[in-house]
């Protein structure tokens, strides 16, 4: 009782084996024994190691010790705090200890998984534990901040993933804003002909869902619109949306279609028809568009360019054409956001040796979808670029722009099945000989490999090898007037030249061109390839690192329709459960200013990116508004008077952690100094 | 405790400050992907690199670190809009102050690492460890301060980048 230096806290240290994940490299028993002995003066009263600290038995161990040893602080050395910080906080709370009086230090992601030298790793683990012990002494009991959740949800992107998510949330009874950049929802799925492996027509299964989304009383469609700005935080986002002028009054328009029949200006449709067909200057992208209102493309409309025409206005029976319409800026309050912004096709012009754009009869996969689609520019007839010749032989090249270190390393996931589908459609509609040039056939999905087997039986020829070149330079009379596919057939070990009439490039999927900008707008991160990063690659592929922002569909990574639908529904379920909780607990990591110490210099005022610091002219002091503060801590570091305190990351906590991390070295160095002296 | 008796080859100790959103996650990613790097760095997680108080860096050097790594989101990618730029200003100042204190400014390294750049994080940590190893243990001598500061400003020994840093 009367010891001269009595530690003020009673600390428990728990070192996790994580099976062999940690114990295989770090001598966990040694670490815990060392902590129990060497850190006694720091207040460690019990140190243990256990196979799986995160298991219920591991958590019970902590809870028992809190009660038995009267622990006032807990340090767990295990995985990254991003994985299990919450687990151990809850364990402490369960035993009546304030959850913020615990600290999880990482000896897995940052020690055992990245180091091979067992001795060095064990020493580092000790240092990390010492850092945690020194830090935890300065932890304070905190209460999470509770903020209400706005029941509305914003969904960005009206493809199949976004539509599915919107319907799920709307069905649960909550309002949804579905924002789509194009004039109609539907996304890429609306362009497809058939879907693999069942070959049901894409439009037939998609359009009922589009109509449901369009008619649902809880869904507000904002098409031809884009998100401009996102403010706020989970539960209380304020989103600014620009609804571009359609030049058509939606209240009056009936979607009768007279305007686009009468419009004299034909424009190549490079979006929906992939450049193969035409639309008018006033148009709906496709007949089943939702909403049914057309849009005037002002860049191509004769009236906007030359000042005369107005044919559409003349013929419109309801007077819905409004040339003076302006963009609308809408401000939406939402609690959660789903990003379902999809993908864009890899531009095969980037691979010049495949000749796309130079050789007429080289098509992209999207072009072929339109060619084969009964509602497409050729009425579903698979013909060459001249519009009439039916090909007698077709080559389909896989992995164009995917699995290629010159372009994208990743596998685009859908191209194998898509190519098999193309082969089937060509075979069925034209009877042509079909070659599939593949590196590997990847058919992991329900009914997918059976489809591949069916194609083999149908007589499609499979050539294993990466195509070197597609050329029209014939070397013999048999090749005259044909496209020659130069490929190394790796199964027979020979170069082959295969003459065909038509080549389809099964191009890969890429993130939309502006994906990085959009990510920045929403405060989430992109992978090296540009796809958005999920919270956890296996256990949480739906949420992002930013609370309240979720992902659905291809923007998280290339995937097929069933996976996109599943992810859309999953994101919706997550949000509905959040809305039903009515409020959300936020980390109480906030800055606060001690008015006694504040000199009123106002340095912090300008540093805050969220304008969370207000200056009181009367008292000449600054104050932090905790509702706006996001807890970055920049003001804490900048305050010359040291008057600002960063909860959870206070100066004492960080400085003590530094001391702790260097504890072993200090001891070592002092010893050396003494020896020298 | 028992193993301090034998003279061991110099192993530098580096304290690394990482931000919660990018660089700490880069370190996590390096771990998840089992990339290997030198065990000399010990990380501290801050919410943002903007939280980095220069005191932390000097405290680390004073407490026995041979090098300090500061790591944050890439410019323009900060989770808190632009706070990493504020850290960048402090970083440049700290390099000058370190030189004036007689500590080689090269012992302080700045690394931008996004959450996806585990490989870059791992590689740069190993590289920095070797750089600090080459500098040798930090035998801090306050009397050397002014002299070294002069040297930094004129001598090409420290490489063009550091002179630029100092002048900036």
Q: Is the pLDDT of residue A1 over 60?
A: no
Q: Is the pLDDT of residue A157 over 60?
A: yes
Q: Decide if A633 and B48 are in contact by the 8 Å CB cutoff.
A: yes
CA distance B88 to chain A (A): 12
Q: Is the pLDDT of residue B30 over 70?
A: yes
Mean predicted confidence (pLDDT) in A441-457:
96
Mean predicted confidence (pLDDT) in B42-67:
95
**pLDDT given at position A6:** 74
**pLDDT given at position B146:** 44
Q: Quick one: DSSP state of residue A532?
A: B
Q: Decide if A662 and B13 are in contact by the 8 Å CB cutoff.
A: yes
Of the partner residues A520, A649, A658, the one whose CB lies closest to the CB of residue B47: A649
| pLDDT tens-digit map of A179-198 | 999 999 999 999 999 999 99
Distance CA B88, CA A422 (A): 54
**pLDDT given at position A666:** 61
Mean predicted confidence (pLDDT) in A572-601:
93
What is the value of pTM for the model shown?
A: 0.81
Which residue blocks in A298-402 are alpha helix, DSSP H?
302-306, 311-315, 365-372
Q: Decide if A113 and B34 are in contact by the 8 Å CB cutoff.
A: yes
Q: Decide if B83 and A632 are in contact by the 8 Å CB cutoff.
A: yes
Q: Decide if B27 and A525 are in contact by the 8 Å CB cutoff.
A: no
| pLDDT tens-digit map of A294-321 | 999 999 999 999 999 999 999 999 999 9
Mean predicted confidence (pLDDT) in A410-423:
96
Contact criterion met (CB below 8 Å) for A325 and A250 = no
CA distance B114 to chain A (A): 8
**pLDDT given at position B139:** 75
Q: Decide if A115 and B63 are in contact by the 8 Å CB cutoff.
A: no
Which residues of chain A lie closer than 8 angstroms to B88, CB-CB?
Answer: none
In percent, how much of chain A has pLDDT > 90? 89
**pLDDT given at position A672:** 42
Q: Which residue of A has its CA nearest to B46?
A: A649
Mean predicted confidence (pLDDT) in B90-105:
93
Of the partner residues B25, B48, B64, the one whose CB lies closest to the CB of residue A82: B25
Distance CA A366, CA A396 (A): 13
Q: Is the pLDDT of residue A527 over 90?
A: no
Q: Decide if B37 and A667 are in contact by the 8 Å CB cutoff.
A: no
**pLDDT given at position B161:** 42
Mean predicted confidence (pLDDT) in A400-418:
96
Q: Quick one: DSSP state of residue A192?
A: -
Q: Decide if A657 and B22 are in contact by the 8 Å CB cutoff.
A: no
Of the partner residues A80, A520, A659, the one whose CB lies closest to the CB of residue B63: A659
**pLDDT given at position A95:** 96
Pick from A37-41, A463-467, A663-667, B89-93: least confident: A663-667
Distance CA A592, CA A293 (A): 52
Mean predicted confidence (pLDDT) in A446-468:
96
**pLDDT given at position B142:** 53
Mean predicted confidence (pLDDT) in A331-360:
97
Pick from A93-102, A145-154, A527-536: least confident: A527-536
More confidently predicted of A8 and A99: A99
Confidence of residue B165 (pLDDT cuts 50, 70, 90): very low
B interface mutation test: which of A20, A22, A109, A527 has the most B CBs within 10 A?
A: A109
Inter-chain contacts counted by CB atoms under 8 A, chains A and B: 149
Q: Decide if A110 and B86 are in contact by the 8 Å CB cutoff.
A: no
| In this structure, CATH architecture of domain B14-139+146-167 | 3-Layer(aba) Sandwich (3.40)
Distance CA A474, CA A482 (A): 8
**pLDDT given at position B148:** 45
Tell me the pLDDT of chain A averaged across its residues. 94
- Extents of the domains making up chain B: 14-139+146-167
Which residues of chain A lie closer than 8 angstroms to B76, CB-CB?
Answer: 520
Q: Which residue of B has its CA nearest to A119?
A: B39
Q: Which of A639, A30, A110 is nearest to B31 (CA)?
A: A110
Q: Decide if A131 and B64 are in contact by the 8 Å CB cutoff.
A: no
Of the partner residues B1, B25, B50, the one whose CB lies closest to the CB of residue A632: B50
Edge-to-edge strand ranges of the sheet holding A393-400: A362-364, A502-507, A393-400, A433-438, A461-464
Q: Is the pLDDT of residue B23 over 80?
A: yes
Q: What is the dihedral of CA A219, A225, A226, A230, to 10 degrees?
A: -50
Q: Decide if B31 and A545 are in contact by the 8 Å CB cutoff.
A: no
Distance CA A185, CA A272 (A): 12
More confidently predicted of A666 and A578: A578
Peptide bond into A648 cis (omega under 30): no
Q: Is the pLDDT of residue B54 over 70?
A: yes
Pick from A164-168, A169-173, A347-351, A541-545: least confident: A541-545
| pLDDT tens-digit map of A88-122 | 999 999 999 999 999 999 999 999 999 999 999 99
Question: CA angle A184-A187-A192, nearest 5°?
Answer: 115
In percent, how much of chain A has pLDDT > 70? 97
Q: Is the pLDDT of residue B158 over 90?
A: no
CA distance B61 to chain A (A): 10
Q: Which residue has the tokens 């106002």?
A: A602
- Output the CA–CA distances (angstroms, integers) from residue A483 to A393, A426, A465, A486, A499, in the order listed: 10, 17, 17, 10, 6
Q: Which two tokens stand for residue B98?
A: 């370190």
């Amino acid at each position: 009782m009367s010891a001269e230096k009595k530690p003020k806290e009673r600390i428990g240290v728990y070192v996790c084996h994580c099976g062999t994940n940690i114990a295989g490299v770090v001598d966990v028993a040694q670490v815990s024994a060392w902590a129990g002995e060497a850190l006694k003066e720091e207040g460690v009263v019990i140190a243990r190691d256990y196979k799986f600290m995160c298991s219920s038995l591991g958590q019970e161990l902590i809870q028992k010790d809190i009660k038995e040893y009267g622990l006032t602080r807990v340090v767990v050395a295990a995985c990254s705090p991003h994985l299990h910080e919450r687990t151990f906080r809850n364990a402490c709370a369960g035993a009546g200890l304030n959850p913020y009086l615990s600290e999880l230090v990482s000896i897995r992601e940052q020690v055992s998984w990245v180091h091979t030298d067992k001795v060095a790793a064990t020493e580092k683990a000790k240092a990390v534990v010492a850092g945690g012990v020194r830090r935890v002494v300065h932890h304070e009991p905190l209460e999470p901040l509770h903020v209400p959740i706005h029941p509305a949800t914003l969904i960005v992107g009206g493809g199949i993933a976004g539509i599915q998510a919107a319907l799920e949330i709307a069905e649960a009874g909550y309002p949804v804003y579905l924002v789509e950049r194009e004039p109609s929802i539907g996304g890429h799925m609306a362009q497809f002909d058939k879907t693999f492996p069942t070959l049901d027509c894409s439009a037939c299964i998609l359009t009922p869902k589009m109509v449901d989304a369009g008619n649902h009383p809880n869904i507000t469609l904002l098409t031809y619109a884009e998100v401009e700005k996102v403010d706020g935080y989970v539960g209380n986002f304020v989103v600014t949306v620009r609804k571009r002028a359609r030049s058509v009054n939606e209240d009056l328009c009936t979607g009768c279609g007279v305007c686009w029949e009468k419009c004299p200006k034909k424009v190549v449709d490079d979006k929906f028809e992939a450049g193969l067909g035409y639309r008018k200057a006033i148009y709906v992208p496709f007949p089943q568009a939702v909403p049914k209102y057309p849009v005037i493309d002002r860049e191509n409309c004769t009236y906007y360019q030359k000042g005369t025409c107005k044919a559409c206005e003349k013929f419109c029976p309801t007077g819905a054409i409004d040339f003076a319409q302006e963009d609308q800026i809408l401000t939406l309050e939402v609690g959660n956001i789903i990003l379902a912004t999809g993908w864009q096709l890899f531009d095969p012009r980037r691979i010049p040796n495949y000749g796309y754009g130079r050789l007429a009869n080289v098509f992209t996969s999207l072009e072929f979808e339109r060619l084969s689609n009964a509602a497409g520019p050729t009425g579903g007839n698979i013909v060459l670029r001249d519009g009439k010749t039916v090909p007698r032989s077709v080559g389909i090249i896989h992995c164009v722009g995917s699995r290629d270190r010159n372009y994208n390393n990743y596998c685009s996931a859908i191209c194998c099945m898509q190519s098999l589908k193309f082969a089937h459609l060509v075979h069925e509609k034209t009877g042509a000989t079909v070659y599939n040039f593949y590196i590997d056939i990847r058919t992991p999905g329900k009914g997918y490999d059976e489809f591949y087997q069916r194609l083999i039986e149908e007589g499609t020829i499979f050539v294993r090898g990466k195509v070197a070149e597609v050329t029209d330079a014939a070397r013999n009379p048999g090749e005259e007037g044909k496209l020659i596919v130069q490929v190394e057939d790796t199964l027979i070990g020979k170069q082959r030249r295969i003459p065909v009439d038509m080549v389809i490039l099964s191009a890969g999927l890429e993130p939309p061109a502006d994906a990085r900008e959009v990510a920045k707008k929403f405060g989430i991160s992109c992978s090296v390839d540009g796809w958005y990063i999920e919270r956890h690659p296996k256990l949480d592929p739906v949420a992002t690192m930013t609370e309240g922002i979720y992902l659905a569909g291809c923007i998280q990574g290339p995937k097929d329709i069933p996976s996109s639908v599943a992810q859309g529904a999953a994101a919706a379920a997550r949000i509905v459960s959040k809305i039903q909780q009515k409020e959300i607990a936020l980390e109480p990591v906030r800055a606060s200013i001690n008015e006694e110490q504040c000199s009123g210099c106002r340095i912090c005022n300008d540093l805050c990116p969220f304008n969370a610091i207000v200056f009181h002219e009367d008292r000449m002091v600054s104050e932090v508004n905790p509702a706006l503060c996001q807890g970055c801590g920049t003001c804490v570091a900048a305050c010359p008077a040291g008057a600002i305190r960063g909860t959870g990351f206070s100066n004492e906590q960080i400085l003590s952690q530094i001391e702790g991390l260097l504890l072993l070295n200090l001891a070592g160095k002092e010893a050396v100094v003494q020896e020298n002296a | 405790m028992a193993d301090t008796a034998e003279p061991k080859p110099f192993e530098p100790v580096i304290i690394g400050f990482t931000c919660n959103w990018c660089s700490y996650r880069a370190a996590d990613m390096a771990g998840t992907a089992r990339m290997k790097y030198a065990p000399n760095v010990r990380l501290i997680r801050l919410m943002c690199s903007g939280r980095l108080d220069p005191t932390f860096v000097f405290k680390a050097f004073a407490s026995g670190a041979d090098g300090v790594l500061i790591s944050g989101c890439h410019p323009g990618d900060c989770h808190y809009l632009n706070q990493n730029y504020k850290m960048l200003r402090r970083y440049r100042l700290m390099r000058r102050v370190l030189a004036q204190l007689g500590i080689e400014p090269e012992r302080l390294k700045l690394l931008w690492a996004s959450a996806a750049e585990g490989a870059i994080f791992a590689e740069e940590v190993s590289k920095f460890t070797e750089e600090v190893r080459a500098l040798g243990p930090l035998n801090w001598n306050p009397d050397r301060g002014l002299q070294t500061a002069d040297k930094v400003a004129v001598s090409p020994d420290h490489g063009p980048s550091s002179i630029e840093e100092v002048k900036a």
